[in-house]
Structure 1
């Protein structure tokens, strides 16, 4: 199992870290809210809403990252070191993205998101 494959698992799990932050970070989530969590999420504002948005973005980007890692491995033209470094950089960008989202640093968040997307593209260019 390569470092890049472990990074795919991390990318899959990172949105759930945001789920925990969303539900318990604001101190408002209890058993009553668990009966209708979507209504709870619809009513969020501020920090909780940003955590939920970061969660959704994580679910959106994880498949593209997983595909890029798998394709890079299958193509076999990029070195394993390159693939692993790109994967670790992507996970780092996702962690920074979550921090930026939670801190409400919108411009920096967009820049970090752009870096993450460029890293996904880099898997393909490294495999040419």
Structure 2
């Protein structure tokens, strides 16, 4: 299936690429209007500011890093599957499922559910590998 010339799998790549940005926004949310001297977001040194965060903000930042780490294999798998002429419906379903699992992973990361988060991460990895063999 195509929308605006792109398959669902390719749209899923775009969605997955936006997930780290969503995690960064979440980690910084509510801190933009607060002055820096009171612990508000420091756009001059954003990485230092994020490194000093704790609890759910730190976990949201860690989810951002993990989301970036998951991207290369997913992008590569989708491109390879397209090049090899994978069954489009299967590829679209698996790619969409990967994004759904990554969103669940982020939610569990922020909610501090490490065991469930790791299980979802594993399933997402298996789905990603399955994309290569569609």
Which of 82, 101, 104 is matched with 2:90 structurally?
A: 82
* Displacement of 1:125: 1.9
* Displacement of 1:28: 3.5
| Moved >4 Å (runs of 4+) | none
- Determine the C-alpha separation between the residues in 1 that align with 2:121 and 2:79: 21
> Does residue 1:11 correspond to 2:16, yes or no?
yes
SS at match of 2:27: helix
SS at match of 2:133: helix
Query: Does the Cα contact within 8 Å between 2:74 and 2:128 map onto a contact in 1?
Result: yes
TM-score between both structures, scaled by the size of structure 1 = 0.92
* Gap runs ≥5 in structure 2: 1-5, 37-41
Deviations 1:59-109 (A, max 9, x none): 111111010000000011x21001000001001101100110011000000
- Determine the C-alpha separation between the residues in 2 that align with 1:51 and 1:66: 22
Distance 1:73-1:16 versus aligned 2 partners, 3 A rule: same
- Determine the C-alpha separation between the residues in 1 that align with 2:28 and 2:132: 36
Q: Which residue pairs with 2:31 in the alignment?
A: 28
RCO greater where, 1 or 2, for CA within 8 Å and sep 6 or more?
Answer: 1
Coordinate RMSD, CA, aligned: 1.2
* Gap runs ≥5 in structure 1: none
Deviations 1:16-63 (A, max 9, x none): 001110011xx3345641111111011010000000000001111111
| Structure with the higher helix share, 1 or 2 | 1
Q: How does 1:40-51 map to 2 (within 5 A)?
A: 40-51=49-60
